[in-house]
Amino acid sequence: MARFGRVVTAMVTPFHPDGSLNLDGARTLAKWLQDNGNDGLVIAGTTGESPVLTDDERLSLFEAVIGAVTIPVIAGTGTNDTAHSIHLTKEATALGAAGILAVTPYYNRPSQAGIEAHMRAIAGATKLPVVVYDIPVRTGRKISTPVLLRLAREVSNVVAVKDAAGSPSESAVLMSQAPAHFELYSGDDNLTLPFLSIGGCGVIGVATHWSATDHQELFDCWERGDVVGARRVNARLLESFAYETGDDNPNPLPSKVMMNLLGLNVGEARLPMGPPPAGLAERAQKVLDNLRAARSAAH
């Protein structure tokens, strides 16, 4: 079994209509996600709009969600400032997080040596398991396979990578050489099934906000050797994967629209993301209707 479960959602952060943090909404959403197929949650990741949260808001959010659910809560404490990341990691550890998500430093584009030192410093600030988050499209740097392997082999609490680098072939090289305990979580929903074929253990997803049970079915099929069944479930989810982000409606705008449609009242995104574009709610309804119809037809 994957350390944090097979289906983990990178949860959106609810805001009130005035843009202030909605902690009651966060508790309600977290409980709903737990009740609807999720094995774990990531809080204050990219989808959680971490760049626009103050430290107090981020820590309050960790505390609220950790207290609301019984599934593992992974705290997004990585920033592009190592000292700041260490501070947030220590605070999240004290609040009872189950793990730490540490993203590659963004914007400043450090060398591979700098990235490695940054990750070692974060891991050294906690006894919690650390998931390294590799997402070069947002950070400007891909973590090299040799660096990931050194972290996996030499830093005892670096236990997994959330892989959003978009290169299954390179991920296959990583997993062919990584220690047996090191886990690969898909960070791109549409690559979850391919990643399973090279040793992936789960997904830290976005579309999992509304399709966690479908993802569980996909994993069930794969684990019993029903590759055709897994492909059928994956095909059912392709429209959700296409919906969850785009140039005109980047993540997390679509997920917030979908959650609001489902009655979870998460509000809109803060600037610079801002309000969703016209027509996104209608598209969300179509995605949801088609997914429900596909589920019914399959069962």
Map residue 1 onto helix, strand or coil: coil
DSSP class per residue in 82-148: HHHHHHHHHHHHHHT-SEEEEEPP-SS---HHHHHHHHHHHHHT-SS-EEEEE-HHHHS-PPPHHHH
ω before 252 within 30° of 0 (cis)? Answer: yes
Cβ–Cβ < 8 Å for 195, 230: no
What number of H helices and E strands is found in the chain?
12, 8
Q: Active site residue: 106, 133, 185, 243, which one? A: 133
Q: Active site residue: 106, 162, 185, 256, which one? A: 162
Calpha distance 21→26 (Å, rounded): 9
Calpha distance 260→248 (Å, rounded): 19
What does DSSP assign to residue 50?
G
Nearest to 267 by CA among 21, 10, 9: 21
Q: Say which residues have a Cβ less than 8 Å from residue 79's Cβ, sequence separation at least 6.
A: 50, 85, 88, 103, 105
Structure tokens, 39: 């094995």
Map residue 204 onto helix, strand or coil: strand
Whether 107 is catalytic is no
Whether 162 is catalytic is yes
Catalytic residues: 133, 162
